[in-house]
Amino acid sequence: MAGDDGEILVAEIADEWKTEEPIRIGTPLQPKQTAFAIAALVVAAMFIALVMQNLVFDSVEETQEPQGGYERVPVWERANWPYVTNGPHGFVMEYGPYSLAATDNEWNSTHHFVEFTLPLAEGGSAPNGLVSLAYWLPDVPEGVQVPMIAEFGPYFDEQSVSTPSIEVPGTWLGQMIIDQILPHGYGFAQVSVMGTGRSNHCMDLMGNAEQLGVDAAVTWLGSQNWSNGKVAMIGKSYDGSTPWQAAMFGNEHLATIVPISGLIGLMELMWKNGSNEARAPFMHNVVYGSYGLDGDTGDIGNACPDYALGPAAGTGAYVWGGEAVGNYWEERYFLQRVLDNYNGSVYLIQGMHDWNVDPHMAVPTINILKQHGIDAKGLFGQWDHDYPDRPDYHFDRSGEGRGREAYPQMTRFDWMQDLLEWFDYYLKGIGDKPGQWIEIQSNYGEWRLEDHYPPQGMETLAFDLGGGMSNIGGTTTILPDASTGPVYETAPLEEGIWIAGLPRLHVDVRTSTIGGQIYALMEDCDESGQCIHLGHAIMDLRYHEGGTEEQIWLPLLETINAKMEFFTLDAYVDANHTIRLSLFSTGEDYLPASTSSVVTVQEGTGSTLQLDIIDPADKLWFDPPACTHSVCLDWLNQTTDAT
């Protein structure tokens, strides 16, 4: 089943099980069937879980203290195993044998400063860099060395914004690792990036100084006498971006990274084909610039050139769409250096409805990693800027067309166990190599496995604007007022379709100036005309060829083709529904174009909406452990009653 390198391909699973047809582990459901089927599955899962809990636990009330020797099972079997599914988050299947080693403080942590050399060009505290960190160790026998799991970020011991002390578990994730992973023989560390907490220098917002400090701390963690030499990095959002920074250096100690909604580059966070989010020009000084400024004598170490470059680079990128001051954005692009230098593995986690860190950070990044021979696994669910196993957060932050239809199947109560097995293999060499696949969830909740994402070998449906998609808006003009533009809609679909990956809108337009912007909203509309969000795309027309090269054309006279790409989506559209496409000058949290222009759509074969679709019969579907948390059950009961 596994190749020489241990990689398990999805297509090979069916061979291993010796089936003549693709395995259907949890048959994908039509949306109208989903509510009834989910309710039935949850009732059955609750019954099985209660029986199993009575067999292996002292009492049902003690479900948050799992014990005993559980087998480690593949993802497609996990629905049948007694994971704890009624709590606020996931749990490992068994507790490890080690307690937390005691220290001289009540949190059992040890603080340390890592010294390293900062280039003089960085200003501030250069050349004397200091990285502040705290670490926790398991109480293992003398001489036993343990791998380290670390979370690096700006949110520890930062007086100016009242973040927790670095010596206290400062995040939910840190507490979970200490409680559940550390007892299996792992250490854990929290590290303040430069210019934050007790680390010196300035907050250069993922720049060179921060990157060098991250690398120095990884080396220190991997070279202590209590370390086995292997370090993992994990975190969400900013803390999910520092693992990419560390991986750029090819550090021999960095064995694996688990970026959760992290950045492959800073500009990629806030710009898409030249279009700006509203926060883009202000991220450095306004959002993070105050970190490290506490009003004490140490503030002199914050005199760094990046405080002048940051706002200039942000404003310049808004006006011109790209690099305007030196190499500010190039310095903060990580992915290419990761591909060039990194020798470890990547467990990439992303919310498909993340409003903060858009899913284009993960897709097609996961395929690029695989193409470069990097061990890579993906977990892509319909949550937003969250961890995979938080049922209450998933409910509160989802809405119609924004993940709610996938609730509560999006909540992965097997995630902590999955992390443990990932770390066991890549940090200790224990167990089988984890499957190098992508676990992807559709907008109605169904989970499946893919070797790549976007999947390979898909069929493409193309709809011409003004042809296969009728103009129902009565105009072809997009005005800069952000509310006026054409609307197109397909005829009712004869059969349901499953859209996957990165849909494209290639549209011929003429403009009144060299500029303008198009925001495209794609919706699924039912027989009654009620529509929900499927996906969206945006483009500054100066970058209509895609990429980072600014284009020139003759306004009013020359037709250009805007090659737009939607943010990642995985969505089922039912038979008799229509797909609606609305075009405006801006939308979501994007700014109006800095180069205002009237844009006129040229209908016909040069303007097409292109949808890549999968055949669900060819896929490997599975059900994760069903959520029995009260929030999930209340929602399921409400949905079933409404249906």
Q: What angle do CA 86, 88, 93 make, to 5 degrees?
A: 65
pLDDT confidence bin for 40, thresholds 50/70/90: very low
DSSP strands (E only) in 44-139: 110-117, 128-136
Q: List, for residues 375-397, the tens digit of each pLDDT value.
A: 999 999 999 999 999 999 999 98
455 or 549, higher pLDDT = 455
pLDDT number for residue 249: 98
Judged against a pLDDT cut of 90, whether residue 205 lies above it is answered with: yes
What's the mean pLDDT when you consider all of the chain? 88
Q: Give dist(CA 345, CA 483) in Å, integer.
A: 45
CATH 1.10.286 fits 100-339, yes or no: no
For residue 8, what are the β-bridge partners? 2
Q: List, for residues 332-367, the tens digit of each pLDDT value.
A: 999 999 999 999 999 999 999 999 999 999 999 999
Contact in structure between 92 and 68 (CB atoms under 8 Å): no
In percent, the amount of the chain with pLDDT more than 70 equals 87
Judged against a pLDDT cut of 70, whether residue 33 lies above it is answered with: no
Structure tokens at 344: 């470890």
Domain residue limits, the chain: 100-339, 459-614
CATH code for 459-614?
2.60.120.260
Contact in structure between 202 and 306 (CB atoms under 8 Å): yes
Strand 345-351 with 254-260, pairing: parallel
DSSP strands (E only) in 603-640: 604-614, 620-622
Judged against a pLDDT cut of 60, whether residue 195 lies above it is answered with: yes
pLDDT number for residue 28: 52
pLDDT number for residue 99: 96
Q: List, for residues 54-94, the tens digit of each pLDDT value.
A: 322 222 233 344 433 567 899 999 999 999 999 999 999 99
Segment 195-207 shows an average pLDDT of: 92
Q: Give dist(CA 241, CA 293) in Å, integer.
A: 23
pLDDT confidence bin for 5, thresholds 50/70/90: very low
pLDDT number for residue 318: 83
CA–centroid distance for 83 within its chain: 24
Q: For residue 101, what is the DSSP state? A: P
Is the link from the previous residue into 624 a cis peptide, with omega within 30 of 0? no
367 φ, ψ (degrees, to nearest 5)? -70, -35
Q: List, for residues 117-152, the tens digit of each pLDDT value.
A: 999 999 999 999 999 999 999 999 999 999 999 999
Helices and strands: H and E segment counts in the chain: 13, 26
H or E element that contains 314: helix 306-320
Which residues have CB under 8 Å from 373's CB, separation 6+?
none
pLDDT confidence bin for 179, thresholds 50/70/90: very high
Segment 523-549 shows an average pLDDT of: 94
Contact in structure between 203 and 293 (CB atoms under 8 Å): no
Q: Give dist(CA 568, CA 501) in Å, integer.
A: 5
H or E element that contains 417: helix 415-423
pLDDT confidence bin for 461, thresholds 50/70/90: very high
584 or 301, higher pLDDT = 584
Judged against a pLDDT cut of 50, whether residue 46 lies above it is answered with: no
pTM over 0.75: yes
Judged against a pLDDT cut of 70, whether residue 11 lies above it is answered with: no
Q: Give dist(CA 243, CA 263) in Å, integer.
A: 9
Segment 111-116 shows an average pLDDT of: 98
Contact in structure between 257 and 215 (CB atoms under 8 Å): no
